[in-house]
Homo-oligomer: A and B are copies of this chain.
Amino acid sequence: MMRKALVTGGAGFIGSHLSKRLVDDGFKVTIIDNLYTGSRRNIAELEEKGDVKFIKLDVSEAKAEEFAKENFDEIYNLACPASPVHYQATPLKTALTSFYGVLFSLELARLTGAKLMHASTSEIYGDPLLHPQEEHQWGNVNTIGIRSCYDEGKRFAETLVSDYIRVYDIDARMIRIFNTYGPKMHPQDGRVVSNFIVEALEGRDITIYGDGSQTRSFQFVSDLVEAIRKYMRLDRAKVKEFFCKNNLPAPVLNIGNPSEYTVKELAAKTLEKLPESPSRLVFESLPGDDPKKRRPDITLAKALLGWEPKITLDEGLDKTIEYFRAKSNNKISID
C-alpha cells in the first residue's frame, strides 16, 4: 500500500518542492494551504498528474480529529508565512498560524502515531551573539519587537514539539531552516535573493538595506529537501540516541548552507549574471531587529544524516534566475 504524507503549507515555496519529492519517493501526498503566500501554480504539475490532493484550508482551522481518519504515515508542518514582509503584514495571523499549525500537527501525530517533521527556523536564534549558530545556542530574540510574531511563534512551537515528545512520546523531529532560495519563491518574498533577481530582471534599482556588509548564507532548496527526507527516513531509536549523546533535550537540526556572503556580494553576483540589466545598487536604512549575521553550524546534520549542501551559490542562482526569467517572459501574473 502506498504511504501517505500530509504537508501543511504544501503550496508554498519549500512545501511545493517537498511535495514533489514526496511524490517521487512514492507517497500519496495531501496538501493543506490557505494560499496566503503559497500558490496553486507551484503545485499545478503535481495536481494535473493527480499526484497530490489539495485542500484549501487555513491550518488554524484544521481539526486533528478529522484528519486522523486519513491515517497519514508522515506529517510535514511547513505552514507559516516566513518572510519578514509577509509575516509582519499580519503579525497576529503569523503568530497564531505558527501556534495553531504546530498544535494541529502534534495532535494529529499523537492521535495517529504518524511521524512528524516540524519546520523551525534560524530565526529562533534571532540576532545571534555567537557564530556560527549551533543547536545548543539559545538565541537572542526580542519578545516585544516587530519580528517577534514570527520568531517567538516559532520558538514556542519548538517548545510545544519538545513537550509533546516528553509527555506523549510521539515521533517528532525538528529542523531549523536557514535562508533558502530557489525556483518557486514568491516574487514578493522580500528576501534578498528573489528581491535582487526580480529587481535586476525588471531593471529596477537593487535595494540594499544597511551598508550591505551584513552576511547571509544561502541554501538552495533541493539541498534542504534532501536533508528533510534523509532525516525523516532515519530510525527513531537512532535519532533518540544521537540527540541524547549530543546532550540536546529534543531532536533539532540546523539545515542550511554554511557558505557566507555579504548582501553586497550577492547583489554584485546577481548583476554579473544579468549583464543586460540596467539596475544600480541603492542603499536604504535597516529595518528593526534585522540580524547582522547568521550562519549555520551543520556539524550535527553532517554526522547524523551524512548530508551536506551540494549546490553552490552560482549554480543555484542560475536556476533561480532561469525560473524568474521564464516567469517574466511568460508574463505570468504575480500571485
Contacts and interface: CB of A to CB of B under 8 A. Distances in A.
B249 A144 contact: yes
A171 interface: no
A231 interface: no
A185 interface: no
A159 B167 contact: no
A163 B88 CA distance: 10
A163 B138 contact: no
Interface in A32-57: none
Given A142-B138, A163-B92, A156 B158 contact: no
A244 B166 CA distance: 42
B249 A163 contact: no
Interface in A142-169: 142-146, 148-149, 152-153, 155-156, 158-164, 166-167
A251 to B, nearest CB: 9
B143 A153 contact: no
A148 B162 contact: yes
A139 interface: yes
Interface residues of A, number: 36
A313 interface: no
A144 B252 contact: yes
Contact of A148 (B142, B146, B163): B163
A248 B156 contact: no
A159 B163 contact: no
B158 A155 contact: no
A141 interface: yes
B146 A95 contact: no
B252 A163 contact: no
Given A160-B95, A163-B95, A138 B149 contact: no
Contacts of A95: 156, 159-160, 163
A126 B167 CA distance: 22
Interface string A284-316: 000010000000000000000000000000000
A143 B167 contact: no
A159 B138 contact: no
A128 to B, nearest CB: 11
Of A99, A124, A149, A159, chain B has the most CB atoms within 10 Å of the CB of: A159
Interface string A109-135: 000000000000000101001000000
Contact of A143 (B124, B129, B144): B124
Nearest to A162: B144
Interface of A: 91-92, 95, 99, 124, 126, 129, 138-146, 148-149, 152-153, 155-156, 158-164, 166-167, 248-250, 252, 288
Given A95-B163, A152-B155, 6 more contacts: A95-B159, A95-B160, A143-B162, A144-B159, A152-B152, A153-B159
The 3 closest A-B CB pairs, nearest first, are: A144-B250, A156-B156, A152-B159
